[in-house]
């Protein structure tokens, strides 16, 4: 997608200049161009202006001015998001919150940390480490992504099955509504009176409120973690092994799968020692006290063996455990090395359909003429297919996008969702028409209006318009009714 013409608003720019320090307002094309996309580089748009406030007063003034002029505001953290949720608006202001990067407090007894939205995910755990605590959600971008962005996207990671998503690890968010009105969601107690607005704020992709401060929960660092690397001769068998572990009452700390193409892709890069002859490799981790881990690893091994694992290797020490993980965690950079570009989506399906999905993806590889190694969070059915393509060839780009979209459609068909942790943003907005019926989409618009009646906070993301769904031609029809009867058809 290409840049739309940027709309100028000299009056607003002058007003912003008056309230922001020098260097905190960017309007020239050469200055705003570096901000034209987030981690989803396929879609780019220069904003009218970028603002980089460093005090809360400045943020409030920016919001009030934009609101008074009816100008859209798009909040942004580190810009590592993969769905285009922070893609700028041609008529709007990009509100970069990266300068709010201080850890305000760590309360070891209460096991909480209060941080500004621009603090990096890993920096929270670093601040908590002296107390034997850490922040559990660990998206793979954790060295760069910010807590503000994590809250906006409800980010996941490799330990969600046991430790939850961002949603489960945030207690309180303080911020502002789009007009600059201060608001607080949740609190330092375990609940707050009224509706649980915090639950709907988390994962709202910057469309409901702007974040000033976040209080997260910290959890004790497990004394020990050990990881099993299991080989399977068949991907369906590996999928069944995942179900067998859960059915045996085991909740692994991490449970990841790589198919053969993915193992072969990452091995030369990471030297993780993966079994390159196996059709699938499972990484299954246990954490806790030494006795607890020993007990669980033994149970896991016996389940995996019964499920047909052809080879089992248990990490002997921390170095080896990290080596096992190195392959999985370097899957994206390895894909970047193997092809000019890769396109990764994050559809999630019921675990029992993992085998079916992998077969469907294999068929798509043939049809679209592109390779697609698969890594995924097997414990929660969250796929990360890596479609390899050539971004200098428009035809290859188009095929990659169509490939990605089809995987999402298949995820919906299998009873899953188009996005497990990356968000909808701009990327998956069409597939929202497949996952939700017209009434439910209209209810989402209602939620948006309740927080932002004028619709100027990060507009046009996540929830497709009626028109867009009609154009996409995939709107759901429920209960035998015709969807969008009000629209003309040809």
Which residues, 8 to 47, sit near other proteins by CB under 8 A? none
User: Closer to other proteins at the Cβ: 229 or 349?
Assistant: 349
Sole binder of other proteins in the list 90, 233, 243, 312 (CB under 8 A)? 243
What are the helix (H) ranges across 330-435?
Answer: 331-338, 354-368, 394-413, 432-435
Number of neighbouring beta carbons within 10 Å of residue 415: 11
User: Closer to other proteins at the Cβ: 182 or 333?
Assistant: 182
User: Closer to other proteins at the Cβ: 46 or 448?
Assistant: 448
380 lines the binding site for other proteins (CB under 8 A): yes
What are the helix (H) ranges across 170-257?
Answer: 197-201, 235-247
Q: Could you tell me which stretch among 53-61, 303-311, 313-321, 419-427 binds other proteins (CB under 8 A)?
A: 419-427
CB 210, CB 270: distance < 8 Å: no
Sole binder of other proteins in the list 143, 450, 454, 482 (CB under 8 A)? 450
Sole binder of other proteins in the list 105, 337, 415, 482 (CB under 8 A)? 415
Closest by alpha carbon to 332, among 380, 366, 376, 294?
376
Q: From the CB of 290, what's the least distance to other proteins, in Å?
A: 9
Closest by alpha carbon to 95, among 140, 137, 63, 131?
63
User: Closer to other proteins at the Cβ: 136 or 314?
Assistant: 136
Sole binder of other proteins in the list 31, 56, 126, 292 (CB under 8 A)? 292
463 lines the binding site for other proteins (CB under 8 A): yes
Q: From the CB of 412, what's the least distance to other proteins, in Å?
A: 9
- Alpha-carbon gap, residue 454 to 88, rounded angstroms: 18
422 lines the binding site for other proteins (CB under 8 A): yes
Tokens representing residue 196 in the block: 């649980």
- Alpha-carbon gap, residue 307 to 231, rounded angstroms: 11
130 lines the binding site for other proteins (CB under 8 A): no
Q: Could you tell me which stretch among 14-22, 240-248, 253-261, 313-321 binds other proteins (CB under 8 A)?
A: 240-248
Concatenated DSSP letters of 235-283 = HHHHHHHHHHHHHTT---SEEEEEEHHHHHHHHHHH-----TTSSEEEE
What are the helix (H) ranges across 70-183?
Answer: 121-128, 147-153, 160-163, 166-169
308 lines the binding site for other proteins (CB under 8 A): no
Q: From the CB of 406, what's the least distance to other proteins, in Å?
A: 17
Q: Could you tell me which stretch among 86-94, 140-148, 392-400, 443-451 binds other proteins (CB under 8 A)?
A: 443-451
């Amino acid at each position: 997608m290409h840049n739309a013409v940027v709309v100028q608003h000299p009056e607003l720019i002058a007003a912003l200049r008056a309230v922001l320090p020098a260097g905190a307002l960017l309007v020239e094309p050469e200055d705003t161009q570096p901000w034209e996309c987030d981690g989803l580089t396929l879609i780019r748009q220069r904003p009218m202006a970028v603002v980089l406030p460093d005090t809360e007063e400045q943020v409030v003034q920016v919001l009030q001015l934009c609101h008074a002029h009816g100008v859209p505001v798009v909040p942004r953290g580190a810009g590592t998001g993969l769905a285009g949720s922070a893609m700028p608006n041609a008529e709007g202001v990009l509100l970069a919150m990266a300068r709010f990067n201080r850890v305000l407090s760590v309360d070891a007894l209460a096991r909480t940390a209060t941080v500004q939205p621009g603090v990096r995910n890993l920096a929270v755990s670093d601040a908590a480490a002296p107390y034997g605590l850490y922040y559990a959600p660990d998206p793979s971008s954790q060295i760069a992504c910010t807590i503000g962005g994590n809250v906006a996207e409800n980010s996941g990671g490799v330990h969600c099955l046991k430790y939850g998503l961002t949603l489960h690890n945030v207690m309180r968010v303080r911020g502002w509504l789009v007009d600059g009105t201060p608001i607080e969601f949740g609190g330092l107690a375990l609940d707050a009176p009224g509706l649980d607005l915090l639950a709907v704020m988390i994962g709202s992709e910057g469309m409901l409120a702007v974040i000033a401060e976040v209080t997260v929960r910290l959890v004790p660092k497990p004394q020990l973690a050990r990881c099993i690397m299991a080989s399977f001769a068949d991907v369906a068998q590996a999928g069944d092994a995942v179900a067998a572990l859960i059915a045996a009452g085991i909740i692994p700390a991490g449970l990841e799968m790589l198919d053969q193409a993915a193992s072969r892709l990452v091995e030369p890069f990471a030297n993780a020692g993966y079994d390159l002859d196996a059709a699938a490799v499972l990484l299954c981790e246990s954490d806790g006290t030494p006795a607890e881990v020993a007990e669980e690893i033994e149970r896991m091994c016996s389940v995996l063996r019964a499920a047909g694992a052809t080879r089992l290797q248990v990490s002997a020490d921390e170095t080896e455990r990290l080596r096992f993980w190195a392959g999985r965690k370097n899957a994206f950079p390895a894909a970047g090395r193997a092809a000019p570009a890769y396109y990764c989506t994050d559809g999630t399906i019921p675990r029992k359909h993992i085998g079916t999905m992998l077969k469907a993806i294999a068929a798509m590889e043939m049809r679209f003429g592109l390779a697609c190694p698969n890594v995924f969070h097997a414990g929660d059915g969250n796929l990360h297919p890596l479609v390899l393509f050539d971004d200098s060839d428009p035809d290859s780009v188009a095929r990659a996008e169509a490939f990605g979209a089809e995987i999402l459609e298949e995820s919906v068909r299998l009873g899953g969702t188009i996005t497990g942790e990356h968000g909808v943003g701009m990327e998956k907005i069409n597939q929202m028409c497949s996952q939700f019926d017209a009434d439910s989409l209209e209810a989402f618009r209602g939620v948006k209006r309740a927080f932002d009646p004028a619709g100027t906070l990060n507009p046009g993301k996540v929830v497709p318009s009626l028109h867009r769904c009609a154009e996409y031609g995939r709107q759901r029809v429920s209960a035998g009714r015709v969807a969008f009867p009000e629209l003309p058809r040809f």
